[in-house]
Amino acid sequence: MPVSLDVLLVGAGPTGLALAAQLRAYGITFRLVDRSLDRVRESRALGIQPRTLEALAGFGVTERLVARGNPAMRLRLHLPRRTVSVPLFDIGLTDTPYPFLLFLSQAETESVLGEHLATRGVSVERGTELVRLDQQGPHALCRLRGRDGAEEDVVARYVVGCDGAHSTVRAQAGIDFEGYAYPQTYLLADLDVDGLEPGAVHTYMTGAGMLIFFPLGSPAPWRMLAIRPSDAPADEVTLPLLQQIADRYGARGLVLRDPVWMTDFRLHNRGAARYRSGPCFLAGDAAHIHSPAGAQGMNTGIQDALNLGWKIALVCRGAAPEELLETYGIERAPVGREVRRFTDRAFAIGAGPHPVLRFARARLIPRIAPLAVRATAPRRRVFRTVSELAIHYRHSPASTTGGRPPRHGPRAGDRLPDLPQGLQAQVAAPGWHLLLTGPPHLWPDQRLAPVLDGRADLITVHRLDDRGPWPDVAQALVRPDGHVGYVARGADLEGLRAYAARWLPIDTA
């Protein structure tokens, strides 16, 4: 069978939708299928991190997400004898246009991404399931079953499994999903609560575990998340059970009411052994699942998609070598591992059954928390991690520093900060961006010709005078996902020419 399309995207959750937006921006032919007949209506993930907002800004969807969401700035930590207020993001995050955690239900996030795709003529083929996948030479032979039961075979150059924790693509590609399940059960409900101060996240902590209320807005004012105490009945989740648990966790005086969704679930911590097998890639929950501590799951999936999308697009267009696709797993698998490690630790602190952890929650944390919230430096470190702004690809083969590294400023593999303010907006258009700092006379067109000739439609040039994030004369090639690919000090362009020849060869045929 001949190749019928460049890319098959399996799964239209947040990961698949973000990937589709990127492929569409590069004019790649693809299909986006999802076996479910409707998009998710319940709120699952509900925090959008600053880095995700930055990364989605290029598609023009971030403003709509921000308009619909709630940039909650405070955490109220309810301790046995007092309540401590922890400002969430007002700690001098000056290098991002989005210095806050945006609260928005996953249903709304998917709706905004879906509307964006619809205006660009992309629709999700709902009720269409991937049921089988075989490698056929370098391509993938995929069997799809439509909602009427009819089956269709398609040959795709690449398949991306954005199909969630029980990924068919992962199973069919023979990739292991290694890890473990936690013994505890989580209780989750979207409901209204009398007695909670609005505009803040509320956390109650006891030896038994943690109870958290997040401001949600829609489809209910609050999201409640709690660990089911080990001696609580494992019955169906009901409002009286939730009220009883809230009382036990010290949230006395609150009245829970009008639930629109109540459920319980077991958490897992698992990661795909590989992110690629031949023409098949994994992204999002198909590649990593973990506890919701720190609101990382959906964000990590969207950022997987934004790392992979432009690479597949440029390879399909013949503008980049196949080798570029190898950098996807090299760059994103360590991020997935780190998220699993970090969320595992956070989960242990909040819910671990070990007596030492129970003691810490009951006695130690209530004593040290009021002091800890005043320590700005550790808070800033934690928030840079949680916000995902600190993610870098410094060890990737696609990150190169020229012979003379800049003395300060972002390094090869780092995300480009929004310094000076508005810089990220300048480089938001699809494609690569060449930033040149220092006097403009250093960068006449004819000097740039060895880098730009044959690539003018792929690289946009920005002469920044001395307003760039590097203090010296510098040259930096910023990748389509906003990470610095190449950076060097000085005006010698030989290293840059070599970088472009490797990753953007003029003729890859």
Ligand X SMILES: Cc1cc2nc3c(=O)[nH]c(=O)nc-3n(C[C@H](O)[C@H](O)[C@H](O)COP(=O)(O)OP(=O)(O)OC[C@H]3O[C@@H](n4cnc5c(N)ncnc54)[C@H](O)[C@@H]3O)c2cc1C
Quick check: 45 and 198 in contact, CB under 8 A?
no
In whole angstroms, the minimum distance from the beta carbon of 293 to ligand X comes to 9
Tokens found for residue 360: 């810490």
In whole angstroms, the minimum distance from the beta carbon of 283 to ligand X comes to 7
| Region from 5-13, 151-159, 192-200, 338-346 binding ligand X, contact rule CB under 6 A | 5-13
In whole angstroms, the minimum distance from the beta carbon of 143 to ligand X comes to 10
Give the span between the Cα atoms of 371 and 369, in whole angstroms: 5
Report CA-CA distances (Å) from 470 to 37, 51, 380, 425, 489.
50, 21, 23, 18, 9
Q: Given the complex with ligand X, which of 187 and 476 has the nearer CB atom?
A: 187
Tokens found for residue 344: 């595992």
Q: Given the complex with ligand X, which of 164 and 468 has the nearer CB atom?
A: 164
Give the per-residue contact string, 60-99, with ligand X (x = CB under 6 A; - = no): ----------------------------------------
Q: Given the complex with ligand X, which of 223 and 479 has the nearer CB atom?
A: 223
Give the span between the Cα atoms of 235 and 327, in whole angstroms: 47
DSSP letter (8 states) at residue 442:
G
Q: Given the complex with ligand X, which of 284 and 409 has the nearer CB atom?
A: 284
Asked whether position 220 contacts ligand X by CB under 6 A, the answer is: no
Among 6, 95, 190, 285, binds ligand X (CB under 6 A): 285
Among 226, 298, 312, 474, binds ligand X (CB under 6 A): 298
- Bridge partners of residue 102, in order along the sequence: 48
Give the span between the Cα atoms of 306 and 52, in whole angstroms: 9
Asked whether position 36 contacts ligand X by CB under 6 A, the answer is: yes
Asked whether position 33 contacts ligand X by CB under 6 A, the answer is: yes
Quick check: 232 and 241 in contact, CB under 8 A?
yes
In whole angstroms, the minimum distance from the beta carbon of 334 to ligand X comes to 18
DSSP code per residue over 42-106: S----EE-HHHHHHHHTTT-HHHHHHHSB---EEEEE-SS-EEEEESSTTT-TT-S--SPEE--H
Q: Given the complex with ligand X, which of 35 and 361 has the nearer CB atom?
A: 35
Quick check: 128 and 145 in contact, CB under 8 A?
yes
Q: Given the complex with ligand X, which of 180 and 265 has the nearer CB atom?
A: 265
Tokens found for residue 77: 């930590």
CA angle 111, 117, 123 (to 5 degrees): 95
| Region from 14-22, 95-103, 254-262, 351-359 binding ligand X, contact rule CB under 6 A | 14-22
- Could you tell me whether strands 222-227 and 400-401 are parallel, antiparallel, or unpaired per DSSP bridges? unpaired
Burial class (CB in 10 A: 0-12, 13-18, 19+), 168: buried
Tokens found for residue 237: 């989740």
Give the span between the Cα atoms of 139 and 155, in whole angstroms: 7
Asked whether position 104 contacts ligand X by CB under 6 A, the answer is: no
In whole angstroms, the minimum distance from the beta carbon of 61 to ligand X comes to 15
In whole angstroms, the minimum distance from the beta carbon of 296 to ligand X comes to 6
Q: Given the complex with ligand X, which of 16 and 114 has the nearer CB atom?
A: 16
Give the per-residue contact string, 261-280, with ligand X (x = CB under 6 A; - = no): ----x---------------
Residues 137-166 that bind ligand X (CB under 6 A): 162-164
In whole angstroms, the minimum distance from the beta carbon of 303 to ligand X comes to 11
Asked whether position 361 contacts ligand X by CB under 6 A, the answer is: no
Quick check: 476 and 424 in contact, CB under 8 A?
no
In whole angstroms, the minimum distance from the beta carbon of 144 to ligand X comes to 8
Q: Which residues bind ligand X (CB under 6 A)?
A: 10-16, 33-36, 44-46, 106, 129-130, 162-164, 168, 188, 265, 284-285, 292, 295-298, 301
